[in-house]
Structure 1
Amino acid sequence: MSNTHQRRIQWLYWILALPALAFFVLFFGVPLWAIMQRAFAEKGLGAAIQMVFSNRSLLQVVAWSAWQATLSTMLTLLLGVPTAYILAHYRFPGRALLRSLIAVPFVLPTVVVALAFRALLGERGLINRWLVAWLELAQPPLELEQSLGMILIAHVFFNLTVVVRLLTAYWSNHDPRLEASAQVLGAPRWRVWLEVTLPLAMPALLAAALLVFTFTFSAFGTVLLLGSSQQRTIEVEIYDQAIHQFNLPIAATLSLLQILTSLGLTLAYTRLVRRSSVPQEAQALSLRRARTWPSRVAIGGVMLLASSLIVLPLASLVLGALRIEGQWSLEYFRMLGINQRGSYAYVPPTQAMLNSLRYAGITTILALVFGLPCAYLLAQPQGRLTRLLDGVLMLPLGTSAVTVGLGYIIAFRSYEFWGWETPDLRRWSGLLPLAHTLLALPFVIRTMVPALRRLNPQLREAARMLGAKPWQAWREVDLGLLLPSIMAAGLFAFTVSLGDFGAALVVSVTSPATATMPVVIFRFLGQPGASNYGQALAMSSLLMGVTFISFLLLERFRDQTSEW
């Protein structure tokens, strides 16, 4: 393909991506700008920055965010690296099941995961109840509620998928002859691992670590629901400053700090991903059976630890919803349809479920419409501008969903132009799917780009030579080959919308009737009493069921070479 033709194609993709870029600017850039302008209008950015850096408690929030993100990343790597290595190199009974189990947490809503760990390790959790009954104790022996330990375990639960998927994809396709050559030269296995295997995997390993750090640094739901008042990430502090204390300058400054941090991390991540995807003239790695007892023990230990981490909390959640005072019952599910306190903010569970499903459907359509042109553009040979765009489009991954929701409330109020008043969009039910589309866009792009890079352009050219018009060639060639990846990208967008908590929580402040299932669960948890806690478990079980169905479909269509 000539350089002139290649430039024409790139210009075409830029034109096709313009609506998506306009959407990104309007519904991501404008709300963030509205927050900054509103916050810094009186005293300016400099005064707000000085307020943050002269406030010891806020500095402690920033330091604690980085500290817990570092610990979460290290613990996730500690379990994820050996798990990925075993899955990429060994064949053993239950391997396919373990791969599927490890993928489950990534698509679960944060409120479901937080409540699942409370149901397992909390004061009224399954393990404490067993220990009290078995050892005949007066008080629960485990005191993990509102502790850093429970937050870290939940973060490992969430992000194990990221590490395992990235490293398994790398090790499954790297050149095994390098390790074989080192063994032929007499190097023991531990030395081959340290001097050959690990250095070659370092770009993929660092990319996984950066992604986990980005996710945990901006954690919101897990910290809000599992941590104490002294354990606050930047995003939790943003929510508190903006919603509870009405201190927009502080909230906006913290948002700016988080966005700049996320931009740096995502640019580094995209660069490491490009380095880790450099071909090594490799073939798919053939799996081998474990023939020594140390290998078998290691595989068994990793399987037991990883599966227990995933299965036990989710099983505890369902058991808690189905048992009342030691008896099997559906009472908590029945109570979901009763507004016991006559609350204005009460939303029936069926309405909350319909809200979640409707918003997820709209998000799926919009994310595909805007994400596919961007993926086509980014799949081409990248220049400086395209690489920068790649990092910018990943910004929603690390940007506070609370910040996005708050920006919508500020930016999309009613304005008056030349005697004409614009409608107030803050109560518009379509506002939340737009926020969800931004959050889902990076997942759609990252799912589609690997599939597009593998697509042979000569197939499209052959269709053109046979008389097909451009749109016919795209429909017959691209769409047919990319349909599984498109389905996977759409399901990713669906599950991201279904599980969002931060943006939904903020938007529901101005429009309580638009509450989604995660928001309703949070409202139940905010009310005292065992019945409200049980209803939260019941609603979480329903949400987990809907998400699990989406996950099964996602696994059916997911491209195995995708970054997610």
Structure 2
Amino acid sequence: MTVTPPVASRASVGRLGTLALRVVPAAFILILFAWPVGALVRRAVDVGSDAGIGELLRRTNALDLLGFTLFQAAASTVLALVVAVPMVWLIARVDIPGSLLLMVIVTVPFVLPTVVVGIAFRALLDGPLAFLGVGSGLWPILLAHAFLNVAVVARVVGAAWRSLDPRQAEAAYTLGAGRVRAFVGVVLPRLMPAVGGAAALVFLFCSTSFGVIVILGNGEIRTLETEIYTQAIGYFRIPEAVALSMLQLIVVVAALLLTRLFGDPGGAVGARPAETRFRPHGRQWVAVAAAVAWTVVVLVGPIAVLAVRSVRPGADGAWTLDGYRSLSESVNGVTPLDTLRYSLGTAALAMVIALVVGLLAAVAMHRSRGRWAAAGDVVATIPLGISAVTLGFGYLIVLAALPSEVASSPLVIPCVQALIAIPVVVRIALPALTSVPARLRQAAATLGAGPLRVFLTVELPMIGRSLCAAGGFAFVMALGEFGATSFLARADTTTLPVLIGSALNRPGAENLATAMAASMLLVGVTIVAVVLVEALRPRTGALL
């Protein structure tokens, strides 16, 4: 005879389980996030210099750097919003064949390594668009930032638009309003929270941009992010770098508060959208074709130019595969292909870590209420927006004080990459858990199943597709991480994005060809991963 545990006993076990679920993610974030950031703060208090923080900031022209950092982030955000308008309309309103391909095209730039995007725009602006005379400087940076972040706007705002109840707009039509007036007066005000949330996220990502500015700035464009790296690694001026890192942390916290102010832009994730899309016919195809052409030119064009330049890198127009052949040639005992294998291995390990920790965090947040749930949401979001260079600098300080066996552990880089991917896993897994009908959990509990068994037999199978999508995103984000890894990489732990950045810093057409060929390898891997993610992802969702 089966004996059902007392209700009080099961409740006690459930509370202990929820507490245990909180411990692992909290410990992971404390060790891998709070510790290095805390080390930076402590170093800022005792900077090891006769000058105070104010003097250090003055020496580095910090106020000018801050002003330009905020300006380029704001300009990039506005440009991304404008560029994304046709894509938002396609995603939200138009039902055409090839929607999976459309979502892949929109998503790939967002998860491409920033160094690859920088190289692609350098190839584009020094090649087909050379007549514009903007091969480096502010405009290339703004264009690359818009390219990287249109997916945020398109997916967040597009999902919000699809989820709107169409009856209010139809009522406006009935009262005599035209399509433009109905959109401006009825639809647009209801989309503004999603637009604001997407804009805040784009601003956050652009204010902490590193790889794009390093490659396209040509040493002339300096932001807080790049100057931290220059002071710490280039000049080894640790007090100045610490002071700038503290200023950068203030910018990140302010940007995160903006995202909270506008609400969770992923709030529509998991909701069942109202079907408001139409199948085009007649003259409607003209507008649809124009929007599709815009999407292809803006998002596929730079990658296509990079593919061509990888086999035609020289100004003489000669076609060659030397860049791809060089991938098997040894540099300091390691070939780029060896680096790719190492990158794939660390990204796969980072994906596993991010899935385990992120899923535990999502389950704990799902079972929590009130301030626990709100605190978990904030803590899980912070690593998504923190400056990768600031984080890498913090690790540099922490690892210098640890035994060499720990500092050289092969787990260091995968754990750093996983930390950056965990927020993505949480943002996908949490809405998936919320979408599981409560009655199924209750039925399993009534039959005597404990919380763990309910999760394994009821919830986990139902969120499997979402977890596969989360794993895919975690993998490509880990594969392309550049900022923090550039501080930690050694000769035998160099990832492919770091190798590409190093190749670009060396003179010679051969190094440029190698960088472009290696970039195309990353593009190929990223496209395959995004196709799998889109094929497995549930047909709901905003950002991810």
Fold-level similarity (TM above 0.5) = yes
Unaligned stretches of 5+ residues in structure 1: 129-139, 416-421
Out of 21, 32, 35, the residue aligned to residue 37 of structure 2 is 32
Q: 1:503 to 1:257 in 2, by over 3 A?
A: same
Q: Does 1:329 align with 2:320?
A: yes
| 1:548 alignment partner in structure 2 | 527
Q: Deviations over 1:456-485 (max 9, x none)?
A: 222122123234343332221111101111
Q: Deviations over 1:307-329 (max 9, x none)?
A: 11111111111111223654543
Q: How does 1:302-321 map to 2 (within 5 A)?
A: 302-321=291-310
Q: Does 1:236 align with 2:226?
A: yes
Q: Provide the C-alpha distance between the structure 2 equivalents of 1:104 and 1:111, rounded to a whole number of angstroms.
A: 14
Kept after mapping to 2: 8 A contact 1:357/1:498: yes
Q: Provide the C-alpha distance between the structure 2 equivalents of 1:161 and 1:377, rounded to a whole number of angstroms.
A: 29
| 2:476 alignment partner in structure 1 | 495
How far apart are 1:547 and its partner, in Å? Answer: 1.6
Q: Provide the C-alpha distance between the structure 2 equivalents of 1:10 and 1:456, rounded to a whole number of angstroms.
A: 21
Out of 136, 151, 158, the residue aligned to residue 161 of structure 1 is 151
Corresponding letter in the other structure for 1:61 = L
Q: 1:328 to 1:158 in 2, by over 3 A?
A: same
Q: 1:96 to 1:486 in 2, by over 3 A?
A: closer
Quote the sequence identity (%): 35
Out of 352, 361, 380, the residue aligned to residue 393 of structure 1 is 380
Kept after mapping to 2: 8 A contact 1:102/1:307: no
Q: Deviations over 1:208-253 (max 9, x none)?
A: 0000000001000001101133312221111111111222233223
How far apart are 1:9 and its partner, in Å? Answer: 5.2
Q: Does 1:113 align with 2:117?
A: yes
Q: Provide the C-alpha distance between the structure 2 equivalents of 1:193 and 1:46, rounded to a whole number of angstroms.
A: 57
Out of 18, 39, 58, the residue aligned to residue 13 of structure 1 is 18
| 2:466 alignment partner in structure 1 | 485
How far apart are 1:24 and its partner, in Å? Answer: 0.6
More off after superposition, 229-238 vs 256-265 = 256-265
Corresponding letter in the other structure for 1:383 = G
Corresponding letter in the other structure for 1:376 = V
Out of 178, 184, 190, the residue aligned to residue 168 of structure 2 is 178
Q: How does 1:27-106 map to 2 (within 5 A)?
A: 27-42=32-47, 47-52=52-57, 54-55=58-59, 57-106=61-110
Corresponding letter in the other structure for 1:550 = A
How far apart are 1:542 and its partner, in Å? Answer: 1.2
Corresponding letter in the other structure for 2:82 = L
Q: 1:86 to 1:374 in 2, by over 3 A?
A: same
How far apart are 1:71 and its partner, in Å? Answer: 0.9
| 1:131 alignment partner in structure 2 | none
Q: Deviations over 1:272-328 (max 9, x none)?
A: 34488489x9862232234674x5443333221221111111111111122365454
Q: Does 1:359 align with 2:309?
A: no
Kept after mapping to 2: 8 A contact 1:117/1:313: yes
| 1:517 alignment partner in structure 2 | 496
SS in 2 for 1:104: helix
| 2:237 alignment partner in structure 1 | 247
Q: 1:159 to 1:6 in 2, by over 3 A?
A: farther
Kept after mapping to 1: 8 A contact 2:482/2:498: yes
Q: Does 1:208 align with 2:212?
A: no
| 1:413 alignment partner in structure 2 | 400
Q: 1:257 to 1:39 in 2, by over 3 A?
A: closer
How far apart are 1:46 and its partner, in Å? Answer: 9.6
| 1:418 alignment partner in structure 2 | none
Q: Provide the C-alpha distance between the structure 2 equivalents of 1:478 and 1:282, rounded to a whole number of angstroms.
A: 18
Q: Provide the C-alpha distance between the structure 1 equivalents of 2:273 and 2:135, rounded to a whole number of angstroms.
A: 48
How far apart are 1:7 and its partner, in Å? Answer: 10
Q: Does 1:441 align with 2:422?
A: yes
Q: 1:296 to 1:473 in 2, by over 3 A?
A: same
Q: Does 1:220 align with 2:210?
A: yes
| 2:3 alignment partner in structure 1 | none
Q: Provide the C-alpha distance between the structure 1 equivalents of 2:142 and 2:157, rounded to a whole number of angstroms.
A: 21
Kept after mapping to 2: 8 A contact 1:147/1:226: yes
| 2:4 alignment partner in structure 1 | none
| 1:375 alignment partner in structure 2 | 362
Q: Deviations over 1:148-194 (max 9, x none)?
A: 11111111111011111111111111111111111211222222111
SS in 1 for 2:185: helix
More off after superposition, 390-399 vs 367-376 = 390-399
Q: Deviations over 1:411-463 (max 9, x none)?
A: 12355xxxxxx444333222111111111111111111111111122212212
Q: How does 1:457-468 map to 2 (within 5 A)?
A: 457-468=438-449
Unaligned stretches of 5+ residues in structure 2: 1-6
Q: Provide the C-alpha distance between the structure 2 equivalents of 1:282 and 1:376, rounded to a whole number of angstroms.
A: 21
Kept after mapping to 2: 8 A contact 1:451/1:562: no
| 1:256 alignment partner in structure 2 | 246
Q: 1:246 to 1:101 in 2, by over 3 A?
A: same
Q: How does 1:464-475 map to 2 (within 5 A)?
A: 464-475=445-456
Kept after mapping to 2: 8 A contact 1:201/1:276: no
| 2:432 alignment partner in structure 1 | 451
Q: 1:3 to 1:311 in 2, by over 3 A?
A: farther
Corresponding letter in the other structure for 1:62 = L
Kept after mapping to 2: 8 A contact 1:145/1:227: no
Q: Provide the C-alpha distance between the structure 2 equivalents of 1:543 and 1:334, rounded to a whole number of angstroms.
A: 16
Q: 1:465 to 1:385 in 2, by over 3 A?
A: closer
SS in 2 for 1:347: coil
How far apart are 1:93 and its partner, in Å? Answer: 4.9
Q: 1:287 to 1:186 in 2, by over 3 A?
A: same
Q: Provide the C-alpha distance between the structure 2 equivalents of 1:361 and 1:298, rounded to a whole number of angstroms.
A: 42
Kept after mapping to 2: 8 A contact 1:290/1:296: yes
TM (norm. structure 1) is: 0.88
TM (norm. structure 2) is: 0.91
Matched positions, count: 534
Q: Provide the C-alpha distance between the structure 2 equivalents of 1:180 and 1:371, rounded to a whole number of angstroms.
A: 41
Kept after mapping to 2: 8 A contact 1:347/1:515: no
| 1:137 alignment partner in structure 2 | none
Q: CA RMSD in A?
A: 2.7
More off after superposition, 81-90 vs 239-248 = 81-90
Corresponding letter in the other structure for 1:563 = L
Q: 1:338 to 1:221 in 2, by over 3 A?
A: same
Q: Provide the C-alpha distance between the structure 1 equivalents of 2:140 and 2:327, rounded to a whole number of angstroms.
A: 28
Out of 507, 528, 532, the residue aligned to residue 488 of structure 2 is 507
